[in-house]
């Protein structure tokens, strides 16, 4: 077992790759009452097209398969799985994102038994036709419910406008048409392809004994099995920064117009996960400096009543897709759209406050250190980076070394061709 330490945050990460290939990362937190465990599979909604070792052509899974599989692992014909965890004092949950599926629990009563239940949950699935039909109806209701959530639909419409063919443009849950195609064949195929130990990461944070936990995991029945690794590689969908549609304008039942501006990042040049994370952090510094709630530009837009306090922005930057999203409700949508796009296309004019940049960097580094005192935040934080193979301590050092001139010298080039606007109007 390898132990990595950082003198700045004064923490240690225990790491080991088990014989079957599963990676385990642990951070002991002596004296903390809460322990959290997250088992994550590198299988998300964008992992649609893959090459398998025993196939001669690309295998394309129906949209929503990763999310459907997550639901199925919680299904049992004889027992309520959530109640099993509750009976041993643990709260269990799961989620599917674009890049991974995570199953996790938290407890203050010791983790030996809930950890056994979590491994059972993942490694002994049930794909009976009755359970599949039942879950399909539940997911279909979720999809219909999302249609009434305007925050969700404007996000989905923006991704559809940004991307031509990338699976990121499809909702994580899929569509009613796509989930109708998902049966035991596709679920077993997805499980056998992606739920191999080499594709799984286990993160444990709390008052733990790393050696004892590894011994427990290695004794689990699943660890004694030998399974072939069917996944050869995922098909990577690289797109340049040209959007599919520059404008979507739709009438909705609302009181105030909704506006989302999307900027598509060029992903034709391959970068490492570490480089992508640094680029995303630099973009976060940039947008906070220019459009953060205490910035001059934000105050100007507010004073002109082009935006209101719903205004927010986010950045996503993965291996083969990346985008910036800016959202606001507005009474003046045309003027707001024009003003926001003007700021984005003239960032060098607005990115001038070095002192504000230094404050933002100090705040980010402080939040990084503080996350080590919050078990759930730390578990999610560690999971995010170990899944992409990024060294958490190395990232901290790199962020600390980012300078204002460096960010200013590498401002992204944003043009009309890389922007889309989705306008929901009354």
* pLDDT value for 283: 96
pLDDT in tens, 333-376: 999 999 999 999 999 999 999 999 999 999 999 999 999 999 99
What CATH number does the domain located at 247-425 have?
3.30.830.10
CB 65 within 8 A of CB 188: no
What pLDDT is attached to residue 390?
92
Mean pLDDT for the stretch of residues 368-395? 92
pLDDT in tens, 99-156: 999 999 999 998 999 999 999 988 888 898 889 999 999 999 999 998 889 999 999 9
Residue 77 — pLDDT band, cuts 50, 70, 90? low
Question: Rounded to whole angstroms, what are the CA distances from 276 to 115, 162, 252, 426?
Answer: 33, 19, 36, 38
Angle (CA) 87-89-90 rounded to 5° is: 105
CATH class of the 2-234 domain in this structure: alpha beta
Of 426, 412, 379, 336, which is closest to residue 205 (Cα–Cα)?
Answer: 379
Q: Is 216 helix (H, G, I), strand (E, B) or coil?
A: helix
Specify the DSSP element, H or E, that contains 8.
none
Q: Is the pLDDT of residue 56 over 90?
A: no
Give the model's pLDDT for residue 79. 76
**In this structure, what are the phi and psi dihedrals at residue 168, rounded to the nearest 5 degrees?**
-60, -25
CB-based contacts of 116, cutoff 8 Å, min separation 6? 216, 220
Domain boundaries, the chain: 2-234, 247-425
Fold equal for 2-234 and 247-425: yes
Looking at residue 259, what is its pLDDT? 98
Pick the closest to residue 421 from 317, 292, 335, 316 (CA basis): 335
What confidence tens digit (pLDDT) does each residue in 208-266 have? 999 999 999 998 887 777 778 888 889 988 899 999 999 999 999 999 999 999 999 99
Q: Give the count of beta carbons closer than 10 Å to the beta carbon of residue 133.
A: 10
Residue 91 confidence (pLDDT) above 80: yes
């Amino acid at each position: 077992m390898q132990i990595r330490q950082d003198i700045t945050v004064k923490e240690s990460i225990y790491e080991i790759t088990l014989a079957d290939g599963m990676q385990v990362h642990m951070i002991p937190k002596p004296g903390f009452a809460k322990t959290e465990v997250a088992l994550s599979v590198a299988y998300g909604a964008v992992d649609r097209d893959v090459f398998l070792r025993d196939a001669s052509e690309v295998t394309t899974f129906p949209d929503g398969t990763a999310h459907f599989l997550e639901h199925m692992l919680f299904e049992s014909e004889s027992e309520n799985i959530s109640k099993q965890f509750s009976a041993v004092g643990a709260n269990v949950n799961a989620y599917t994102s674009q890049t991974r599926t995570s199953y996790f629990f938290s407890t203050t009563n010791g983790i030996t038994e809930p950890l056994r239940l979590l491994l059972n949950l993942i490694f002994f699935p049930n794909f009976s036709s009755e359970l599949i039909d039942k879950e399909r109806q539940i997911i279909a209701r979720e999809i219909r419910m999302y249609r009434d959530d305007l925050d969700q639909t404007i996000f989905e419409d923006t991704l559809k406008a940004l991307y031509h063919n990338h699976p990121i443009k499809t909702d994580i849950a899929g569509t009613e048409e796509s989930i109708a195609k998902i049966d035991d064949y596709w679920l077993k195929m997805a499980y056998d392809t992606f739920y191999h130990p080499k594709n799984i990461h286990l993160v444990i944070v709390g008052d733990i004994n790393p050696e004892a936990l590894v011994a427990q995991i290695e004794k689990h029945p699943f660890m004694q099995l030998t399974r072939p690794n069917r996944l050869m590689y995922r098909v990577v969908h690289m797109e340049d920064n040209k959007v599919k549609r520059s404008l979507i304008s739709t009438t909705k039942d609302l009181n105030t117009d909704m506006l989302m501006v999307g900027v598509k990042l060029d992903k034709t040049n391959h970068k490492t996960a570490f480089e992508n994370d640094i680029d995303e952090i630099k973009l976060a510094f940039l947008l906070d400096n220019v459009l953060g709630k205490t910035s001059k530009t934000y105050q100007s837009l507010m004073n002109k009543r082009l935006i209101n306090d719903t205004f927010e922005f986010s950045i996503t930057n993965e291996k083969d897709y990346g985008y910036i999203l800016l959202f606001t409700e507005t009474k003046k949508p045309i003027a707001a759209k024009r003003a926001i796009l003007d700021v984005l296309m003239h960032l060098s004019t607005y990115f001038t406050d070095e002192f504000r940049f230094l404050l933002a960097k100090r705040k980010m580094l402080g939040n990084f250190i503080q996350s080590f005192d919050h078990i759930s935040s730390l578990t999610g934080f560690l999971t995010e980076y170990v899944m992409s193979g990024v060294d958490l301590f190395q990232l901290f050092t790199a962020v600390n070394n980012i300078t204002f001139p460096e960010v200013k010298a590498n401002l992204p080039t944003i043009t009309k061709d890389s922007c889309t606007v989705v306008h929901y109007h009354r």
